[in-house]
Each structure stands twice: as C-alpha cells, then as structure tokens.
Copies of this chain bind each other. A is one copy, B any other.
C-alpha cells in the first residue's frame, strides 16, 4: 500500500497555524471570528479536493462527506476541532481534522469507495477559550447544547448568540446541528497526547481508553476596594488575598488525589491598580479526574474550603458551574481495532487515559467513539512550543487509515 502524503499534512498544519489573531506567541484562533471563518474556508477547499461534499451545520461545524456505496448505512465520522486556546499550539485539534482529510484523500486518489459514507468533521469550538463553555460544536451535534449556553458572553461581553450572528448564523437554528444517532456508526479522533507518557515510553502513538470528566466553575469573590495606604491590614476585605488563600487550599486538596488536577486559569482583578485594595476577583476553577465519583467529592470539598475562607475574611463568594462533562469510556470494539492496528505495525499498544477533554466526549452521546493519541514533545500543549514530529504523525495516521478500512471497506477491495 502507498504511503500517506505526510508533507501535504505538515504543509496544511503550518498553513492553518498562520491563521491567528496574533502574529506572535503561537496560535490564537477563537470561534466565530474572522480567523475561524478563514480556517473553515481553506479546510472546506481541502475537503472538496478530496472528493467530499461539504456543508456547515447550524453552529458552523464543517462537515465533509465522502459518499459510500450504501447511502443508508450509518456513517463513519472522523473529527476534531480547528479552534485554539489563546496562544496555543499548531497541532491540538487541527491534526485530527487534517488526518481525517488525508485518509479520505488516499481513498479518493485510489478511487476506493467505502461501503458506508465517511464524514470528516471540523468542530467549531472545542476549547471553550472564548466563551468559557467548551465542546460547543460537538455538544450541538449530540443535542446537548442549551439556550443558556447561547447567552454565555466572552470577555468583551459578546454572547455566543451575538457571535454566531456576526458570522451569518441564526442562533435560533442551533438545534438543527443535532445528529440522529441512527445515522452515525462510529467516531474516530486522532489527537496529540498533550501529556508526557508516549514520550517516556518512546512510542509514536497509543490507544485511548477513556477521557477524564471535567467540572468548570466561574467564581466571583466580592470584598471591598479601598486605598492601599490607609486601610489597616486588620480592617481589609481584600478579594485578591482571599482568592490567594482559596488557591492554596485548592492546590493542597488536589495534591491529595492524583491523577486529579485542579487549575485556576483565569483571574481578573478589579479595579486592578497598584494603589487600590482589590474589591472584586473573577476567575475560573477547572477540576478533572478519570474517577467520576471522586471528582464530584473533591469539587465539593474544594468549594466548602473556599466558602469557609471567604466567610472568615468577610468576603462574599459565588461559584457557578458552567461545564460538567462526565468521564467517558472509549468503545471496547474500537479500542480493540486500534490495538490490533498498532500491533500489526509493531507498535507497543499503550493504553492511555486522556486528562484533556475532546470532542469525542460529547460525540459519545451519539455513537461509539475511539481515539488515537500521538506523541507530544515534552507533553507540552496549549502553548506555542507544542510539537508532534512528521514521522509520528505519519504513523498515527496510518493506524487511523487501517481502522477506517476495517470500519467501512470490505478488506478484499484494498490492495
């Protein structure tokens, strides 16, 4: 069998990396922006060059369909996302979409028609970097997006609803993105590991067993602003010092339950000038664990600790749960297919847990899901230094190709 065109894949990854809101510091490509629309346009072109018919659904998920011989057979979906975090890397999400297109391109160039149709999906907002609610595209496809999500606002106060209008979508139409589970057979996602295990084990790729569930809270701590020179320490209601004490408690609790992780990633201090005691702090708390039960218990322990600290300091605290994604298991059938493909190519079939969320989490509500992880340099992701080697990308895409053949081609047709 001919090799994949890995140079074409790398060129496309590099090209998408240039579509960023900032010229430096990695890739910043939020959803429903000029950048996301430009990325959609070029990915649509690549899909069409691979013989796919392309449409965008009610939330701007970009869907390319490579028609199979049986139009009534549930489809095989290959997907990932093309949005990024602020100042992120080139590979997170993008790799999975480019790999899906490459697999279909191989079929198209070799004039292979699958039994079931293949759809490659570029989901619209997996990261949640703009609206602080994640998996927007894949949750819409799974019928899990809500009217409330549409009212979530970005830091400029633009709601998801408004942002959708700005790129010509009718937000009232978001439910049309929901996909009937009967029409989808399975979902495959190839993604960088975003962790250090494959590098430690010196393997190019591995199979994902499950994805950690995440809880994400927005919190607001209200104290009393005041002059930094005249309010004695004993009379202060400093919202930022209170938040600092909360963060120490959160870290201490998280340290007790590995591999659970907890992160305060965003913090906005008001009024935020050097000679004023902070009166208000707004932030996010993200908690992840592969053990669903423990995740909920630890979250409750953390929130209690925070509330007690605020009470002792005369601060008011509000925690709002904005994302709650339960831990997800990958389909044993797809895990076995991926393992077999790894073994066939003499790769140790490493079984990995994903600490990061992925579109596969939401799509697990539609159909069986399977994931392939690609080695990621030093485990670094969501950072400009994120890197996966062309050779690892090629190997992992070959594994994906093997699984796709198994899922929708009569093997005898392929030579």
Contact = CB atoms under 8 A, between A and B. Distances in A.
Interface stretch (A171-179, A377-385, A405-413): A377-385
Contacts of A224: 380, 383
A71 interface: no
Given A86-B276, A275-B129, A279-B383, A214 B240 contact: no
Contacts of A255: 233-234
Nearest to A353: B230
A222 to B, nearest CB: 13
A229 B355 contact: yes
B85 A230 contact: no
Given A194-B229, A226-B381, A381-B230, A274 B259 contact: no
A324 interface: no
11 contacts: A127-B275, A226-B382, A227-B382, A230-B355, A230-B379, A240-B265, A243-B244, A244-B248, A267-B272, A274-B284, A275-B286
A158 to B, nearest CB: 16
A234 to B, nearest CB: 7
Interface string A134-177: 10000000000000000000000000000000000000000000
Interface string A241-265: 1011101100100110011111111
A332 interface: no
Which 9 pairs of residues, A with B, have the shortest CB-CB distance?
Answer: A274-B284, A229-B356, A244-B244, A244-B247, A228-B263, A195-B230, A229-B355, A230-B355, A194-B230
Contacts of A348: none
Interface string A270-294: 1111111111000010101000000
A204 interface: no
A216 to B, nearest CB: 6
A194 B127 CA distance: 45
Interface in A369-397: 379-383
Contact of A355 (B193, B227, B240, B286): B227
Interface string A77-107: 0000000011110000000000000000000
B265 A278 contact: yes
A409 to B, nearest CB: 33
Contacts of A240: 247, 264-265, 267
A100 B46 CA distance: 72
Given A233-B261, A241-B251, A267-B267, A227 B194 contact: yes
Contacts of A226: 379-383
Most B C-beta atoms less than 10 A away, residue of A195, A224, A255: A195
A160 to B, nearest CB: 15
Given A235-B379, A263-B277, A265-B277, 8 more contacts: A194-B227, A194-B229, A225-B382, A230-B381, A233-B258, A234-B258, A238-B263, A268-B272
Contact of A195 (B85, B214, B231): B231
A357 interface: yes
A21 to B, nearest CB: 12
Contact of A193 (B88, B230, B245, B380): B230
A24 B232 CA distance: 28
Nearest to A256: B233
A150 B276 CA distance: 23
Contacts of A258: 232-234
A212 interface: yes
Given A234-B258, A241-B251, A248-B248, A272 B86 contact: yes
A258 to B, nearest CB: 6
